[in-house]
Amino acid sequence: MEIQEIVLKQQEFFNTQKTKNLKFRKMYLEKLRDLILENENLLNEAIYKDFGKSKFDTFTTEISFILKDINYYLKNLNALAKPKKVRTNLSNQIGNSKIYSDPLGCVLVIGAWNYPYQLSLSPIIAALAAGNCCILKPSEIAENTMKAMSKIINENFPPEYLYVFEGGIDETTELLKLKFDKIFFTGSTKVGKIIYKAAAEHLTPVTLELGGKSPVIITKDANLEVAAKRIIWGKFLNAGQTCVAPDYLLVEESIQEQFLEMLRNQIKEFKYEPDSEQYTRIINQKNFHRLIKLIDKEKIYFGGNYNEEKLYIEPTILTNIKWEDDVMQEEIFGPILPVILFKSFNQTLNYLIELEKPLSAYLFTNNSEEKEAFTQKLSFGGGCINDVVMHLGNDNLPFGGVGNSGMGNYHGKFGFETFSHQKPVLEKATWGEPNIKYPPYSEKKLSWIKKLL
């Protein structure tokens, strides 16, 4: 079936109003949950083939997020979809005002390869919960996971409601020529600009989940042992191929030797070895060679070894890094951790303010003034104080970027709202209306209107 035909059928199906029924939405969310659980082995095998991700990491960073999202919407869908009554102002009395959450229609979700299940299916789940029809275009870079999702969904869901479209750049280009009611994209800033431009041709609203160089600031007032453990875990999770991973460290000069030693010891303790369960390989040759070029051998503090055949890059810490170094010119998206030293927290913060706004930012300190300055002065998509990455796990927090790191957000109620139109409706009584707004006008009427404002 041609993709144009499927999109047309989805538009026609949406107009039947069936997806607005909450029982209908819950039925298919439950169906998707059951299919994920029934096909967990298939999903594990596919992602292992793509880049060696273990069952443990696949569940904790992919499957668990998807199941949690489904359970959240099953539990909260009635409340989310219920019209919200709001205050009616004096000039609109006698009346009542409500906001209705309307599904947008036919939605296109373009997923990413680094967390191919989570970053494809989590937005799909939010879109279905909001009452939309969906086309999913997973990343072709993780080919086996793309085929696994296609098999599970296309064999069990009506295509006029949910369909997975396989393919690469050419297929995505064809998709973007079609009119959708919403496009949701996760990927690089460069591709995000292409998506945004294509969407503008149809005035299609977009949510762009992009990336950037997410900084981590560690001051002398931090709990260094906790900081080292959490940073190493968050940085080298998925071999650094995480959009919210710490990109580089800013370490106060007075603690550098002590903290660097802690980082090195933590890497050794976690045993990030080739073929180990807790470490994935780099997704492909292209990304492998891109990363190797970023390792300046003269600045290696720890690591630097690699195996091209296994697409393995040892966790690598680089020191004596300057802002103009190659590794600081782009998002690393791999297991390389540059360290920059600083003397003044405030000067460092002021420097970061001048840079592109990152998807995430992190601070390790127990100094309340530093915490306040970090949260109030620095603009970033989301972040943590005294942790990294974990803000993604809270359904009550929106996840999304700002500036070059993206626009729009999702997770929990924010995902429901992302795929909904907030439709305001004012209902007026047909009795008791004053004549003040109607012609003929007079100074007396104007005087009363001014008093009512």
Half-sphere exposure in the Cβ direction for 131 (13 Å, CA): 23
Q: What is the DSSP letter of 331?
A: -
Q: Say whether 382 sits in a helix, a strand or coil.
A: strand
The answer to whether residue 372 scores a pLDDT higher than 90 is yes
Give pLDDT, residue 267. Answer: 97
Give pLDDT, residue 361. Answer: 97
Taking residues 183-201, report their average pLDDT.
Answer: 95
Could you tell me how many residues make up the chain?
453
Give pLDDT, residue 289. Answer: 97
Q: Say whether 214 sits in a helix, a strand or coil.
A: coil
State the pLDDT confidence band at 337, using cuts at 50, 70 and 90: very high
Percent of the chain that is helix, strand, coil (3-state, to 5): 45, 20, 35
Q: Give dist(CA 139, CA 172) in Å, integer.
A: 10
β-pairing, 84-86 vs 95-103, is antiparallel
Give pLDDT, residue 299. Answer: 97
The string of pLDDT tens digits covering residues 86-145 is 999 888 888 899 999 999 999 999 999 999 999 999 999 999 999 999 999 999 999 999
Q: Say whether 320 sits in a helix, a strand or coil.
A: coil
Q: What is the mean pLDDT of the chain?
A: 95
Q: Which residue has the higher pLDDT, 418 or 91?
A: 418
The string of pLDDT tens digits covering residues 289-298 is 999 999 999 9
State the pLDDT confidence band at 436, using cuts at 50, 70 and 90: confident
- Check if the beta carbon of residue 425 is closer than 8 Å to that of residue 100: yes
Strands, E assignment, 145-279:
162-164, 182-186, 206-209, 215-218, 248-252
Percent of the chain topping pLDDT 90: 90
State the pLDDT confidence band at 1, using cuts at 50, 70 and 90: low
Taking residues 376-402, report their average pLDDT.
Answer: 95
User: Which tokens belong to 287?
Assistant: 């990304």
Give pLDDT, residue 452. Answer: 77
Provide the edge-to-edge strand list for the sheet that holds 406-407: 162-164, 133-137, 106-110, 182-186, 206-209, 406-407
- Check if the beta carbon of residue 318 is closer than 8 Å to that of residue 338: yes
Helix axes 143-154, 40-51, angle to 10 degrees: 160
Q: Tell the burial category of 191 from Cβ atoms under 10 Å away from its Cβ (0-12, 13-18, 19+).
A: middle
β-pairing, 382-385 vs 306-307, is unpaired
Task: State the catalytic residues.
Answer: 209, 243
Q: Say whether 52 sits in a helix, a strand or coil.
A: coil
The string of pLDDT tens digits covering residues 228-276 is 999 999 999 999 999 999 999 999 999 999 999 999 999 999 999 988 8
Determine if the peptide bond prior to 94 is cis (ω within 30°).
yes
Of the candidates 9, 413, 417, the residue with the CA atom closest to the CA atom of residue 205: 417
Q: Give dist(CA 416, CA 397) in Å, integer.
A: 13
Domain range annotation of the chain: 3-210+405-425, 215-392
97: alpha, beta or left, given left = phi > 0 and alpha = psi -120 to 50?
Answer: beta
Give pLDDT, residue 90. Answer: 80
User: Which tokens belong to 323?
Assistant: 């802002």
β-pairing, 399-400 vs 409-410, is antiparallel
The answer to whether residue 57 scores a pLDDT higher than 70 is yes
Q: Say whether 30 sits in a helix, a strand or coil.
A: helix
β-pairing, 360-364 vs 382-385, is parallel
Determine if the peptide bond prior to 440 is cis (ω within 30°).
yes
Taking residues 299-321, report their average pLDDT.
Answer: 96
CATH number of 3-210+405-425: 3.40.605.10
Q: Indicate the CATH number of 215-392 among 3.40.50.2300, 3.40.309.10, 3.40.1010.20, 3.10.20.740.
A: 3.40.309.10
Percent of the chain topping pLDDT 70: 100
358: alpha, beta or left, given left = phi > 0 and alpha = psi -120 to 50?
Answer: beta
Q: What is the DSSP letter of 62?
A: I
Three-state SS string across 268-286, please?
Answer: HHHCCCCCCCCCCCCCCHH
